[in-house]
Amino acid sequence: MDATATTAAPKRKYGILALLAKLGGKFLALLAKLLKTLKVGKVVLAGASFGAYALLFSWKFALVLIASLVFHEMGHLWAMHRYGLKTKGIYLIPLLGAAAVSEEAFPSRKAETVIALMGPLWGFGLALGVFGLYGLTHEPLFAALAGWMAMLNLFNLLPVNPLDGGRVMKSIAYSISSRLGVAFLACGILGGFVLAHYFNFGLVTFLTIFGAMELAGEVRRIRAVQDRKRVLDALAAKLGCEAEPEAVIATITRVSGQLRKGATAMFPPRLLDANPYTGRFEAREWSSHFLDRVERVAREARREQTSIFRRRKYHVTPIHALNVSTEEDGALGGDQPLFDFLRNKKDAMPAMTPLETAGGAAAYVGLAIMLAALMFATAHIPAAGAAMHVFIG
C-alpha cells in the first residue's frame, strides 16, 4: 500500500500541473483581455480607494464600502443607459466616494431627476437585501451593515449639489423657475459651507466647491438660452415670421436671394434703411445691405440683456457675423455662423411638467423616509453596534 500511495501521489501532482499548464495559456489570455478593457486610471483609483479605506478601517470594511459605492453608481449607469446616454463607467475616488460619469449632458430635467434618484434607490435595495440576511440569520453584523448602507445613501440625498439630492432638488427648482433654480443652488452652497463648518466635515466643503462651479455653469447656460431667444424674437419681429430657428433662417435666405436677383418689391423694407424703389442700390448691394441689417439686429438683441434678477447688464459675448459671400444663385450657404447660433440647442434643457415635478418631489421624500426608517430599525437591534465596531476594526 505504501508503494501504491507513493506512486499515486506523483501522478496526481503531475496531473494537476498538466491541467494548470493546459489552462494557463487560456487563463492568461483571458486576463490580458480583461486588463485591456479596463482603464488603467480606473484600476489605479480603485486600488488607491481600497488602500485608503483599509488603512482607515479594515480590509473587510473597505471591500464592503467599495461594493456599496459601486452598486449605488450602477443604479446611475443603468438609468443613463435607459436614456441612451454614452457613459465612461464608474470611477472610485479615494476618500470621496465614487462617480458614474456620462459622456453626454442630461437631455432633460426629468432625466436628471431619474438618474439622480436611481443611485440611492439601488443603494436602498442593497441595504434592504442585507437587512433580509439579518432576518434569516439573526447575525447582528448584517443589521449593522444594512443601517450603515442606508446612512450612506441618505447622506447622498442631502439637498447639496452635486450630491444626488442636490441634483434632484435643483431639477425640481429649475422646472418651476430659472430664478428659483439659481436661488436653490446658491442656498445649497451657503448651507453646505455652514454644515461643513459646524460639523467640521471637509468632504462637504469639497462638494460645495463643485456646487459653486456648477452654479456658475448654470448661470452661463441660462444666459445662453436667453440670448438665443432674444435674438430669435428680435429677428422674427423684423422679418415678420415665426420666432423659430428654421423659420427665421428660411426667411433670411429667401429675402437675400430675392434682393440679389433685383426683386426688391417682394419684401417690405423693414430691415432696409432706405426705400428700395428709389433705385439707390444695385441688386447685390441691396442683398449685402439686408444681411448687414440682420447682423445688426442680432447684435443689438444680444448686446444688452435682462439678467435673471432683472438687472441690466452689458453682455460682452459677441455674436458671429453673417458671411455675406453668397452663392451664384443668390442663396445663402447653410453653414452660416448666425444660423448655427440660432440652431444651437445644447444649452436648452426641457423642464419637467407639473405632474413630473410633483412625482419627482414625492419620490425624493419617500426614498429619504424609507432610508431613515431602515436606519432607525437597525439602530435598535441589540449588539449591532458592537458587531460593526469589531468589523470596522
Number of helical (H) and strand (E) elements in the chain, helices listed first: 13, 4
Phi, psi of 33 (to 5 degrees): -65, -40
Identify the pLDDT of residue 84: 92
Cell 426667411, residue?
A: 251
Residue recorded with cell 426608517: 373
**What's the pLDDT band for 39 if we cut at 50, 70, 90?**
low
What span, in angstroms and rounded, lies between the C-alpha atoms of 46 and 41?
Answer: 8
Vertex 205 angle, CA 360 and 189, to 5°: 50
Confidence (pLDDT) at 151? 93
- The answer as to whether 128 is a domain residue is no
On whether residue 307 sits in a domain, the answer given is yes
Cα separation, 208 vs 210, in Å, equals 5
Domain-located, residue 134: no
Of the ranges 25-34, 188-197, 260-269, which one carries the lowest mean pLDDT score? 25-34
CA–CA dist 260, 267 (Å, integer)? 12
Q: What is the residue type of 390?
A: V
Segment 128-164, tens digit of pLDDT: 999 999 999 999 999 999 999 999 999 899 887 778 9
Those residues whose C-beta lies under 8 Å from the C-beta of residue 259, and which sit 6 or more positions away, are 267, 283, 286, 287, 290
Distance CA 384, CA 374 (A): 13
Q: Answer whether residue 15 shows pLDDT above 60.
A: no
- Please state the rounded mean pLDDT for residues 350-365: 92
Average pLDDT, the chain: 76
Structural domain count of the chain: 1
DSSP SS3 for 320: coil
Collapse the DSSP code of 97 into the 3-class scheme (helix H, G, I; strand E, B; otherwise coil) and give the result: strand
Band (282; pLDDT cuts 50, 70, 90): low
pLDDT of residue 141: 92
User: Is 335 within the bounds of a domain?
Assistant: yes
The answer to whether residues 154 and 375 touch, using CB atoms and an 8 Å cutoff, is yes
Distance of CA 224 to the CA centre of its chain: 18
Is 355 contained in some domain?
A: no
What grid cell was written down for 149?
A: 448602507
pLDDT at 2 over 60: no
Residue 277: which pLDDT band, with cuts at 50, 70 and 90? very low
DSSP string, 293-312: HHHHHHHHHHHEEE-TTS-E
Percentage of the chain lying above the pLDDT 90 cut: 25
Q: pLDDT tens digits, residue range 222-268? A: 777 778 888 888 888 888 888 888 888 888 888 777 777 766 655 55
Is residue 51 in some structural domain? Answer: no
Q: Torsion-angle region of residue 22: left (phi > 0), alpha (psi -120 to 50) or beta?
A: alpha
Kindly tell me if the per-residue pLDDT of 315 is higher than 50.
Answer: no
Which range marks the domain in which residue 252 is found? 226-343
In a domain, 107, yes or no: no
Q: Is residue 105 part of a domain?
A: no
CA torsion, points 331, 243, 342, 349, in degrees to nearest 10? -150
Instruction: Inform me whether the pLDDT recorded for 359 exceeds 90.
Output: yes
Counting other chains too, the contacts that 36-40 makes at CB distance below 8 Å and 24 or more residues apart are: 39/89
Quote the CA–CA distance of 255 and 344 in Å, as a whole number.
23
pTM score: 0.68
pLDDT of 42-98, one tens digit each?
778 888 888 888 898 888 999 999 999 999 999 999 999 999 999 888 888 888 888
What's the rounded Cα separation, in Å, for the pair 175 and 113? 11
Q: In the predicted model, what is the mean pLDDT of residues 99-109?
A: 87
Residue 273: pLDDT over 80 = no
* Highest mean pLDDT: which range of 26-35, 143-152, 197-206, 249-258: 143-152
Integer angstrom CA distances of residue 64 from 44, 332, 391? 18, 62, 10
